[in-house]
Structure 1
């Protein structure tokens, strides 16, 4: 699929030149830093050396004082506390963190993860009934609850109090909980709005320790869990998330929790994890438990204190991940066939597909796969308990949540983010929903947004790339939304030797410019260019600069994102 090349706006030249001089770095790298809001030596120091001391005061979060007061009362009276969380990575890491942290102060505590297939997303009536039947009087929900008005009202009738720790957008009315910790509340003054759900749980633990003058290691020991949630939930890697991800990766690579260490070993990658490695290696395995069976298996692994048990749990989860791969590949093929067999579906600006037999646990992955083929807002639905339930995914720059809000009267429930959401709908409303969703998207999305884009940070020449250049880029990690690995563009590039295909889709090639070093390069999914690139024919490339490690040998490599043979891009 052809992509749009979008060049970032240049920052202030004087600021860029001064920063390059202060940091003794290449002006192109200084330009990228300025684009990311780093304009002086002090802000650069904070960026390159994130400090835990720079985390915000947890009591700036609305209702934090009420939450701590209610937890103190529960601990004093030895009430039964239930930690309740979602079944995805953010939810399971949140539950593991909160359960383990508060288990330091009480044994009268359990956790509960809803069954994805029987109960669906969020707070469930079954979960509240379980709490009532077993004598729980306080539920702490994580990564869910901010829109559970009816369910929390029901819990109140059973004399069960709720503390909600969530990071999703609230509805017009807030639920009647004892405390609602969510920076996205309109009345919450917390300075950073983009914490993951596990991050909210971390702030609750931090506030408890501050209140009781406990040492920071009581909550900082869970920072690798927070990092995994940041990676998996694709939240912006800036501000507090950057600090937490940075130090969480250090812990993962030096002293990981027993459960995560076992999962690293079973995955085949034992060390040198980046945030990207977590996204593609650890997160899918943790997610697989809730997709294929029950997410409590993931929580058990994350809570393990014995290596042998952790290894058994990680083996189980790894097998579930293998099953998940087979399932999502099969369903993706079926979904693509449904679209391709219908000319009307192919020509639309949205995708809405449904089959009653599809596995509820993998349809979110299928939606993402469909976007790789048809780059447009996508909803995939399956049957569940007499209703249709599904996952929605968007494209860069388009607010999916707002589009679903326009269909709210046709939905039983929905929730999520700008780029991803879950929804439930009555079967008789599927065609009405599909038509309205198409109309809303078609009337608001631009043609440009229906083409995947590559955001180029800076134009450089190969001669600027050396070991120091790459080391500075490496210090910009961890990479993620709003702090992506810098993408460069270079023109008048030539191949040396003959490109060749690796596997079936990837292209290996050597590149150079006039008077430059020859760089080994890899283009994932770019095999089609093998026969198109000719000796002595100039072209343009956009790419990231990486250090490739093979058999303990380290060398610079260009990771090619796109090629333009006629040297033109928009």
Structure 2
């Protein structure tokens, strides 16, 4: 795969700012350059970024309708009304439900939770869920990570004598549901300083507001940040602002004293006694929680996260791990089928998007398959299947193309839709599929620039190997946690050569275990270049190459060492 490297040197103004920051903070100049690249120019901004503080969390009552939401919850508690916590079946929804339920369970026994079935009920608020609330005597539903477009469902609940508080983070329509409160920072009238909260993050803000109003110390709710960190990493929301603060402290909780349920997953992932990072959540913890909603019912994931002892947590973790194994098998099978169809039936070079439909594909897997196709072909991908007489599925996008807006513009032929800039879900009638396909193709043709359809690597700074010192690596740790809009910095080093000990490794000898130097050092640095075996011959001939890479700290037994994770090599 040929990547385009994007690297812009600093302007004179930025260089001056970099020097000022480095001097004021006694900071390595390269680290100061990384801050400048993020738009951080003052000492105060840099300190807030490098040293996240819970004191910098925003007042939850700045969120729209938060005061109304808390007053209604207080009324329900005072009058001993039954409350139902309702959430989506993915990681964000299930962690949100677990968090809010766990908190209020300590205050009242008149509380229950509900996760809709992906296959029988579909995404969001369902009539079945409301009927369950009626049957069990619920008077207040608090929905999390869903509900912002559920106008008819909220009205149906109102007719049944049930109030709704909606806590969501998706983009609302012009008309909001007729709920007691709609807590969403993406409302057009919102004055909240940060609008990228996860659904679980919104749940935490509700709990924070209630605690603030009712005299509970913040230390009572701080342990719940482990769930927020899992949701932020898994839902791929930006790790900036408040999300960065909550992820920072949530990871501390995950690494020091996670809840029983999360500890069960940590053990089953092989992460016990290892330092857990955002990547571990994205690739190990999150997929297992998600597998419950994909393969069975997301309620099992909530049951796990609410476990009261390790025996129960381990038992439930084993079940969810099996769901994940089943999910991986299906994922591979359907992805292979999709790739085979594309390679044999589509002239992909002349396509600006991918829209696939197969009525036999598993509904719980199509989102993952859409992600795989988007990553492989660098095109927006929509993968659809048949479910309950409708066509439904998921869309994933590439940087620069807002797939949610594209789908929203087709709303007149859709039954339901929702999502974010780079990930969305949709449901439509079968007779509308041809028109949707044509419209989406036209929208992608108009909205995509050629550069968006080729892989790119953004380089943050050019350095020599001599600059990779222990102090530099310690300073780099302050930029954690890494994730969307705060990616692990990518460095460029030119004219790198083999020390004589680089070799091919792995299945099929496809990876290069590098042992490399540049003109600034005599001691080689270790690196790994996955699936880049085609450069091996040149490297072994002693010819210089340019590399771009991230810097990782690996632990092998009791020994830690620095390793370059080489993203790309150029002759």
For 1:477 and 1:450, locate their aligned partners in 2 and report how far apart those are by CA, in whole Å.
29
For 2:538 and 2:389, locate their aligned partners in 1 and report how far apart those are by CA, in whole Å.
52
8 Å CA contact 1:377, 1:392 repeated in 2: yes
Matched, 1:76 2:46: no
Matched, 1:500 2:486: no
Alignment partner of 1:372 out of 371, 375, 383: 375
For 1:427 and 1:343, locate their aligned partners in 2 and report how far apart those are by CA, in whole Å.
22
Aligned residue in 2 for 1:5: 5
How far off its partner does 1:347 sit?
3.2
Alignment partner of 1:309 out of 307, 312, 337: 312
What secondary structure, in the 3-state scheme, does the structure 2 residue paired with 1:397 have? Answer: coil
How far off its partner does 1:434 sit?
1.1
8 Å CA contact 1:460, 1:488 repeated in 2: yes
Question: Cα–Cα, structure 1 residues 437 and 511, in superposed 2: closer, same or farther, change >3 Å?
Answer: same
8 Å CA contact 1:396, 1:452 repeated in 2: no
Alignment partner of 1:361 out of 364, 372, 378: 364
Aligned residue in 2 for 1:471: 474
Matched, 1:523 2:525: no
What secondary structure, in the 3-state scheme, does the structure 2 residue paired with 1:235 have? Answer: coil
Matched, 1:334 2:337: yes
Alignment partner of 1:257 out of 253, 256, 259: 259
For 1:8 and 1:429, locate their aligned partners in 2 and report how far apart those are by CA, in whole Å.
45
What secondary structure, in the 3-state scheme, does the structure 1 residue paired with 2:74 have? Answer: helix
Aligned residue in 2 for 1:536: 542
Q: Per-residue displacement from partner, 1:304-357 (whole Å, max 9, x unpaired)?
A: 011100110001101110111001000001111111221346631111111111
For 1:207 and 1:348, locate their aligned partners in 2 and report how far apart those are by CA, in whole Å.
49
What secondary structure, in the 3-state scheme, does the structure 2 residue paired with 1:533 have? Answer: helix
Alignment partner of 1:432 out of 424, 430, 435: 435
8 Å CA contact 2:339, 2:373 repeated in 1: yes
Q: Per-residue displacement from partner, 1:257-293 (whole Å, max 9, x unpaired)?
A: 1111111111111120011111111000000100111
**Equivalent residue runs for 1:279-428 within 5 Å:** 279-344=282-347, 347-428=350-431
**Equivalent residue runs for 1:104-183 within 5 Å:** 104-183=106-185
8 Å CA contact 2:464, 2:520 repeated in 1: no
For 1:528 and 1:187, locate their aligned partners in 2 and report how far apart those are by CA, in whole Å.
54
How far off its partner does 1:502 sit?
2.1
Q: Per-residue displacement from partner, 1:444-497 (whole Å, max 9, x unpaired)?
A: 110000012111111111111111111111121001111111101111111222
For 2:10 and 2:408, locate their aligned partners in 1 and report how far apart those are by CA, in whole Å.
36
Matched positions, count: 565
For 2:370 and 2:444, locate their aligned partners in 1 and report how far apart those are by CA, in whole Å.
16
Question: Could you tell me the TM-score, scaled by structure 1's length?
Answer: 0.97
Aligned residue in 1 for 2:569: 563
Alignment partner of 2:68 out of 66, 69, 80: 66
Which sits farther off after the overlay, 44-53 or 295-304? 44-53
TM-align CA RMSD? 1.3
Aligned residue in 1 for 2:553: 547
- Structure 1 unaligned spans of 5+: 566-570
**Equivalent residue runs for 1:213-252 within 5 Å:** 213-252=215-254
8 Å CA contact 2:63, 2:192 repeated in 1: yes
How far off its partner does 1:38 sit?
2.5
Alignment partner of 2:448 out of 438, 445, 468: 445
For 1:346 and 1:295, locate their aligned partners in 2 and report how far apart those are by CA, in whole Å.
39
Q: Per-residue displacement from partner, 1:73-114 (whole Å, max 9, x unpaired)?
A: 111111110000000000000000011111111101100000
For 2:410 and 2:498, locate their aligned partners in 1 and report how far apart those are by CA, in whole Å.
51
How far off its partner does 1:533 sit?
3.0
How far off its partner does 1:362 sit?
1.0
8 Å CA contact 1:493, 1:540 repeated in 2: yes
8 Å CA contact 1:119, 1:126 repeated in 2: yes
For 1:95 and 1:492, locate their aligned partners in 2 and report how far apart those are by CA, in whole Å.
52
**Equivalent residue runs for 1:34-73 within 5 Å:** 34-73=36-75
What secondary structure, in the 3-state scheme, does the structure 2 residue paired with 1:101 have? Answer: helix
What secondary structure, in the 3-state scheme, does the structure 1 residue paired with 2:327 have? Answer: helix
Which sits farther off after the overlay, 508-517 or 218-227? 508-517
Alignment partner of 2:518 out of 509, 513, 516: 513
Aligned residue in 2 for 1:568: none
Alignment partner of 1:277 out of 267, 280, 290: 280
For 2:346 and 2:143, locate their aligned partners in 1 and report how far apart those are by CA, in whole Å.
45
What secondary structure, in the 3-state scheme, does the structure 2 residue paired with 1:163 have? Answer: strand
For 1:528 and 1:366, locate their aligned partners in 2 and report how far apart those are by CA, in whole Å.
28
What secondary structure, in the 3-state scheme, does the structure 2 residue paired with 1:557 have? Answer: strand
Question: Cα–Cα, structure 1 residues 40 and 323, in superposed 2: closer, same or farther, change >3 Å?
Answer: same
How far off its partner does 1:13 sit?
1.2
For 2:446 and 2:48, locate their aligned partners in 1 and report how far apart those are by CA, in whole Å.
43
8 Å CA contact 1:101, 1:218 repeated in 2: no
What secondary structure, in the 3-state scheme, does the structure 2 residue paired with 1:530 have? Answer: helix
Which sits farther off after the overlay, 22-31 or 340-349? 340-349
